[in-house]
Amino acid sequence: MHLRYLETFAAAVDQGSFTKAARSQHLTQSAVSQQIKELEQWLGLPLFERHGRSTLPTDAARRFREQVGTILAQVQLAREEARGFEDGSVGHLAIGATYAVGTFLVPGLLKRLRQRGSKLRISVDFGTVQYLAQLLAWLKLDVVLTDFPLSRRDLGSLSQEPLADDEIVLVTRANHPWARSGLPIAPAQLRDVPLLLQPAPSTTRALVLRCLSEAGVDVTSLWVELELGNTEALKRAAREGLGPTFVSRYAVESELAALQLAIVPIAGVEIRRKLWCLTAMPEHRPSRAQRFREFLFEVFENFRLDSHRFAEALQTAGLGLEAPGATLEETRPDVVALLASSRRQEAVVETTVGSAASRQTIASLGLPGDCLAILLRRGQDVLVPKGDTRLAAGDRLTFLGRADAVEAARRQIEHS
């Protein structure tokens, strides 16, 4: 039995036609027919049923096709490794991603991979986690990224690992009243504004609605102005002021840094999920898949560590951060995103609160929308300011943001 016969058989099943199989395999149609006939004789059973000009695979042929797929993939893997691809630095990397993850996560990951000088030829397939897991089991994919884990029964012989914690956040345009206030909104306030959501049966939408329902929100009364199945479209619509939307924190890193969008906390509501990485078991995992898996975990660990750069940035500015209690990462994730970004230079300025601004709250000052009050020093105390924080004369208030906006805020605080 020749390996070529199995490749021809697989092409005939996949393409549903001997003619198309012949074209893809660079054979004549009669050669395809002859190879299929010899394969049927070798197996001792028919693989195709002839109905006039149509040729359909039998049930046995479909089952056999699954096994052939595994055989051919293993042979291809052996070919690659025999040609020196065992280090995983070159060759073909096939990634699968669920729709919720792929649209915002995969492009950034591939950009970072390219920046490291990778010469891998990369393809990305989108679909449900069940569909992608089947392709992974057939060795047609190397890695699958998903926001929805497989059950133990569906997992079979695959490896499934938690890759990162993901938070779904409510975002609005940066000058939205909710964003400017700096205060969490009550869950019930969501019923008063047009919302932008993913269409059902999106797993992100289902998670958001479940968490809001648990917080006492009648989700059937929400005003859903627009349904968009693409994360980029949701972000664009929010930037244009069409309404708030719920997206992954990872998806809005650049928009937060550019002060185009802002995170609006919802009192008592935290929407979290895990991102998962599916691969073959280590003993069956191609080297390119292993290297990409290691790359993924390194990237997300670095992203987590970025949140700790806040203290380092303040030390560089000569401010220090010795405050006990709540961290800025917990209370102001938008600030963390700004400081972690290397896409633009932000100004950090500390100023003294004048007597005219004393006893006012930060929210009542009407500060420029593209700067943030990130630190308040009062005597020996260091505080994380919020919209309802009341100022006192002599307080030292630190701003972060675009240089001209920060300078305008400084003048307002010192001379108002």
In the chain, what are the domain boundaries?
A: 3-82, 85-164+274-306, 167-272, 309-415
**Cα–Cα distance between 150 and 168 in angstroms, integer?**
20
Whether the per-residue pLDDT at 317 is higher than 80: the answer is no
Tokens of 23: 């074209």
Those residues with Cβ within 8 angstroms of residue 163's Cβ, 6 or more apart along the chain or in another chain: 145, 274, 275, 276, 277, 296, 297, 300
For 174-230, where are the E strands, in sequence order?
195-197, 224-227
Percent of the chain exceeding pLDDT 70 equals: 84
- In this predicted structure, the answer to whether residue 207 has a pLDDT above a threshold of 50 is yes
Tell me: pLDDT of 258 over 80: no
Query: Which of 88-102, 141-155, 299-313 shows the lowest per-residue confidence on average (mean pLDDT)?
Result: 299-313
Which value, to the nearest 10 degrees, does the dihedral of the CA atoms of residues 225, 226, 227, 233 take? -140
167-272 CATH, one of 2.30.29.30, 3.30.365.10, 3.40.190.10, 3.40.50.620:
3.40.190.10
Selected residue with higher pLDDT from 18 and 79: 18
* More confidently predicted of 361 and 247: 247
Instruction: Give pLDDT, residue 82.
Output: 62
State the pLDDT at residue 352. 87
Strand partners, 261: 173
- Cα gap 179→58, rounded to integer Å: 61
pLDDT of residue 288: 85
Give 85-164+274-306's CATH code, choosing from 3.30.450.20, 3.40.190.10, 3.30.70.360, 3.30.565.10: 3.40.190.10
Q: What's the pLDDT at 244?
A: 95
Q: Where are the alpha helices (DSSP H) in 156-275?
A: 177-181, 203-214, 231-239, 253-257
pLDDT at 404: 81
Q: What percent of the chain has pLDDT over 90?
A: 22
Q: What integer pLDDT is reported at residue 313 of this predicted model?
A: 47
Q: How many CB atoms lie within 10 A of CB 333?
A: 17
* pLDDT for position 87: 53
Residue closest to 222 by CA, chosen among 198, 176, 189: 189
Contacts of 351 (CB under 8 A, 6+ apart): 396, 397, 398, 399, 409, 410, 413, 414
pLDDT of residue 94: 92
Q: H or E element: which one contains 30?
A: helix 29-43
Q: How far apart are CA 11 and CA 48, in angstroms?
A: 13
Task: Considering the domain delimited by 309-415, tell me its CATH architecture.
Answer: 2-Layer Sandwich (3.30)
Sequence-separated (6 or more) residues with CB below 8 Å from residue 373: 182, 362, 367, 385, 389, 397, 398, 399, 409
What integer is the mean pLDDT of 175-195? 88
Please determine, looking at this structure, whether the domain spanning 3-82 carries the CATH number 1.10.620.20.
no
| Nearest-10 crossing angle of helices 287-306, 99-115 | 90
Percent of the chain that is helix, strand, coil (3-state, to 5): 50, 20, 30
Do 85-164+274-306 and 167-272 share a fold? Answer: yes
Q: With the C-alpha atoms ordered 224, 228, 230, 232, is the resulting torsion angle positive or negative?
A: negative
Q: Could you give the CA distance from residue 312 to residue 402 in angstroms, rounded to a whole number?
A: 20
Q: Lowest-pLDDT range, 22-31, 93-102, 295-304, 336-345?
A: 336-345
Q: Is residue 332 very low, low, confident or very high in pLDDT (cuts 50, 70, 90)?
A: low
* Tens-place pLDDT, residues 111-156: 888 888 777 888 999 988 999 999 999 889 999 999 888 888 888 8
Task: Output the pTM of the full model.
Answer: 0.55
What are the distances in angstroms from CA 83 to CA 78, 86, 118? 9, 8, 18
> 406 versus 379: which is more confidently predicted?
406
